[in-house]
Chains A and B, each alone.
Chain A
């Protein structure tokens, strides 16, 4: 079975990085140790090329990626994750088959870098849509690979449609399978069998929330920056990333005043930066009415236009996520006691809690034995990728531990 799978000529995919020959080499190539010097150098090269490329400057997500891959940034990751215990040695697990989400252009690159830094060989289904960001990143990777051809057998980036045969083939050779893109994709890919020792990392459908301490917000001097940060967390991805807050919870005793300023500052940014389509506007109107019909006591507040729709709910419960929407549609809740939102967070789908104020006020909630919340981060950092992601330690999940005693 292993022998057969090393021939990739018949596989119906489009190669963006690598080819069928590289695929065969990839299967046979040795795993590396985590933070292997050749990999760090390769990523530094890619980073340098990205950050100096004029076309890349238009895309803040590409620039952020470029910074994240800099040598200094990788070295700090290395310091955090490298083990010093001499009786344990780590290596990559082997072939990692990644299925990237179709609607977030740069996500596949983070998945790739994680796989590489952990010492693995990576084959990635990248978005089939022609995102400019993807074109730019792939061009830079190809360019860097001609300078460092020894890295070639560690990267294959491919595009293909819903093709079960390809899923089967790649799952068969994988030691780790990483599935982004939510519940539907996970269910589809799970039809393909993996080796008995292979493991899987799945990023299921999740939802997130923001908790704002009204007193802390009113005291903050950088309200422009806060608004921009919140914009980046939400509108930048049409509020459709799993990390984008769907609900905004207000605490403290100056809620009315804080709300007014917060939403007003955000609206000023939206007028300049965000355009909303008819379909998005109609959807938000529809979602608001469905909620109102289902839950008595709901009040809708708009920004006077369709850019911000806030649905004030009398209680914040996880069933609201069955009727959520995006593109600037928020459930808003005035909270006197942090335990009032416990039900909302006590759900395995609840992922990121973004906050303004002190994280200390959140801690009792986290410690109260809830099923959800894997990340508590300041507003503005919800999208910052890290090896600790979605409740997983990706570094642990993508490496093999060898004990030497």
Chain B
């Protein structure tokens, strides 16, 4: 099954049965490909006596823990076919994921992302306000998930303008000029959840008290990067949305969930506040005790499958996040497929014993 065929399907148009049929076929092909072309993957599959006939549904494809991409070099193409190597962000001193992309996989990632995001933003580029500082992509040493995210989403924007200066202060005049220039147009805003709260929302709130306000009611905001830092400030997603609306009229706000190991297949938050799986990928919640599939409403470890990865064996991965499946094919927003909620990182268990290797591994 060619990925172009899948790309021709609208991203939220298949029901459970249709999606299962399509995705199972593709996932089986990808599994076969990686067994044949990635020797470490082949050995892993051998270690569990896996063979392709065991795949009745895409749920049956074994999942690799995402940390494997930090510990091992996993690629299913020869070195001269590697077009780009992506690395994950990581706190300093930590190992980073290395994801090897050939031209096909890289291009399919981009095409997929366009299909998914345009379902929310509509076709065509909008003037784009990036809630970050310019140096985040200029400075190579700072280049990270933040930079990659900005670059990735930049393809949906025109006249890209940074809302913050390199001192992380709001560029009030710059924003005023940008909004004046695009008066009446829809505006695309993008940034990381914590940055938006800390350097954008809080500043807007302060300015409003001084009588300076911005009208962003025609804006659409996409933000990602997780809630971890905001949870410590006790800001819920609902408050985040409401407070932003109150301060600048911004009402179209979409969080997303995604990871460098499966770039392209992002999970966008719909108007009803649910994260959605497109037809290009899926989430499966796994029980921590036996990795069985959780029922709707049960908390589990999030497995992600993606139809994209051809150049590295990352088509079925076990994340280190917990989530809950909320439903399938019946979200009031009208999109088909699973919708779910991410709870956050797996809690670090307190390990007994006198060896201290554990802490080093999972800090």
* A interface list, Cβ under 8 A from B: 101-104, 107, 180-182, 184-185, 203, 205, 236-242, 244, 275-283, 285-286, 288-293, 296, 298-300, 304-307, 311, 324, 326-327
Contact = CB atoms under 8 A, between A and B. Distances in A.
A242 B65 contact: no
B353 A244 contact: yes
B208 to A, nearest CB: 42
Contacts of A289: 44, 47, 64-65, 68
A300 B361 CA distance: 22
B135 to A, nearest CB: 35
Interface centre among A293, A300, A306, by most chain B C-beta atoms within 10 angstroms, is A293
Contacts of A307: 289
Interface centre among A289, A307, A326, by most chain B C-beta atoms within 10 angstroms, is A289
B353 A241 contact: yes
A285 B63 CA distance: 9
* Chain A to chain B: the 7 pairs with minimum beta-carbon distance, closest first: A240-B353, A292-B47, A305-B290, A293-B40, A278-B288, A277-B349, A101-B354
A290 B72 contact: yes
14 contacts: A103-B353, A182-B354, A185-B356, A203-B354, A237-B354, A240-B352, A276-B288, A283-B361, A286-B71, A288-B47, A289-B64, A305-B290, A306-B289, A306-B291
Interface residues of B, number: 36
A33 to B, nearest CB: 31
B185 interface: no
Contacts of A283: 361-362
Nearest to B351: A238
B288 A103 contact: no
A238 B361 CA distance: 15
A306 B65 contact: no
Contacts, number: 128
A279 B72 contact: no
A180 B65 contact: no
A289 B72 CA distance: 10
B346 to A, nearest CB: 4
Given A298-B47, A304-B290, A305-B290, A278 B347 contact: yes
B270 interface: no
A282 B355 CA distance: 19
A180 B354 CA distance: 8
A327 B288 contact: no
A280 B289 contact: no
Contact of B301 (A242, A275, A278, A298): A278
B43 interface: yes
B358 interface: yes
Contacts of B290: 304-306
A327 B47 CA distance: 20
A137 to B, nearest CB: 17
Contact of A285 (B65, B71, B347, B348): B65
Contacts of B356: 102-103, 181-182, 184-185
Contact of A280 (B47, B48, B349): B349
A279 B355 contact: no
Nearest to A185: B356
Contact of B289 (A240, A276, A296): A276
Interface centre among A101, A203, A238, by most chain B C-beta atoms within 10 angstroms, is A238
A279 B322 CA distance: 10
A241 B351 CA distance: 10
Contacts of A181: 354, 356
Given A280-B349, A283-B362, 19 more contacts: A103-B356, A182-B355, A205-B355, A236-B352, A238-B353, A275-B289, A277-B288, A278-B288, A279-B348, A279-B349, A282-B318, A286-B65, A286-B68, A288-B47, A289-B65, A290-B71, A305-B289, A324-B357, A326-B351
A57 B67 CA distance: 41
A301 B164 CA distance: 54
Given A299-B49, A305-B290, A237 B362 contact: no
A311 B44 CA distance: 12
A101 B351 CA distance: 13
Given A289-B64, A299-B47, A279 B354 contact: no
B63 to A, nearest CB: 8
Contacts of B320: 279, 282
Interface in B322-354: 322, 346-349, 351-354
B40 A281 contact: no
Contact of A104 (B71, B348, B349, B353): B353
B291 A281 contact: yes
A186 B140 CA distance: 39
Given A290-B68, A300-B48, A306-B289, A278 B346 contact: yes
